Amino acid sequence: MGLFVACGSSKKRAGDAYGTEEQFCQHWAEAACNSKVVEACAAARVESCVAKQTTYCLGSVPPYYASDNAKTCIEQVEAAYEDAKLTAEEVAIVRNMGAPCDKLNQGLKALGEVCEASDQCNSLEDQVCVIKPGDDSGTCQVPKLVGGGFSCTAVDELCMTGFYCDGSNCIAKKGDGQVCTKDIPCLEDFLCVDSGGQGKCVAKGATAASCDADFECKSGICAKPATGSGKCVESVVLTPTDPVCQSLG
């Protein structure tokens, strides 16, 4: 999920401690800025960490925020930062609003209405924007996952992990050395890399492999210094030079 600027669309409910974006982000920041994190990131004080994380959070809240699942999200943020060390799953939560923090958007579109992106749909009801191959828009649907070889033509059908929809059926994604394109993707542990004008599936980096971005690593984490290339790692131990710490004080 991408980062979105909050639109102030939520309506505060009586007694709801997470009812507004500002309240949610205050809770988020307090959950993130424990003593271990403040020490690891060399923050001036807890208050400065909370202030920075609140600002960061406000730039990450989905555009049509709703607080129904906010408490569950905050609990996972607190657990992620508890030891000042982040696994790939925890990075996805605290940096990309990964599950369960992906269930905070009520959207403006109703089930079945035309959409261009999932943030227009109601994630509280498990809706995403299902866009069929070759189309620029789709419809808000509760997706039905379809296995290899089966039809994916229905408006609510998405292919299971490891498969893609060719417009008619779910086909296995491509593996090592196979040809790939924008419409013919590689398996999840591979990248489609241009090779002499033709895309080819190349394995993502294993632990300690050189990288410049998270998506280049099997682990999903590229530990990158301020300058130069980084290394693929299984987890991030927070230090003052780590990019995560820049939003923590």
Cβ atoms of 100 and 79 within 8 Å: the answer is no
Residue 108 to residue 115: CA distance in whole angstroms: 10
- What is the CA 68 to chain-centroid distance, rounded? 19
Each of the 249 residues of the chain gets a pLDDT tens digit; together they read 344 444 444 455 557 899 999 999 999 999 999 999 999 999 889 999 999 999 999 999 999 999 999 999 999 999 999 999 999 999 999 999 999 999 999 999 999 999 999 999 999 999 999 999 989 999 999 999 999 999 999 999 999 999 999 999 999 999 999 999 989 999 999 999 997 778 999 999 999 999 999 999 999 999 887 778 889 999 989 988 887 888 887
Task: Determine how many CB atoms are found less than 10 A away from the CB of residue 149.
Answer: 10
Which regions of 64-197 does DSSP assign to beta strands (E)? 85-87, 114-115, 128-130, 138-141, 144-146, 157-159, 163-165, 170-172, 190-195
Q: Which one, of 86, 29, 84, lies nearest residue 53 by Cα? A: 29
Task: Determine how many CB atoms are found less than 10 A away from the CB of residue 47.
Answer: 13
pLDDT (0 to 100) of residue 56: 94
Residue 102 to residue 94: CA distance in whole angstroms: 11
CA distances from 208 to 128, 201, 221, 229 (A): 35, 20, 11, 11
pLDDT (0 to 100) of residue 1: 39
- The contacts of residue 201 (CB under 8 Å, 6+ apart) are 174, 175, 176, 177, 178, 179, 180, 186, 187, 190, 191, 192, 193
pLDDT (0 to 100) of residue 12: 53
Cβ atoms of 138 and 130 within 8 Å: the answer is yes
Residue 243 to residue 226: CA distance in whole angstroms: 8
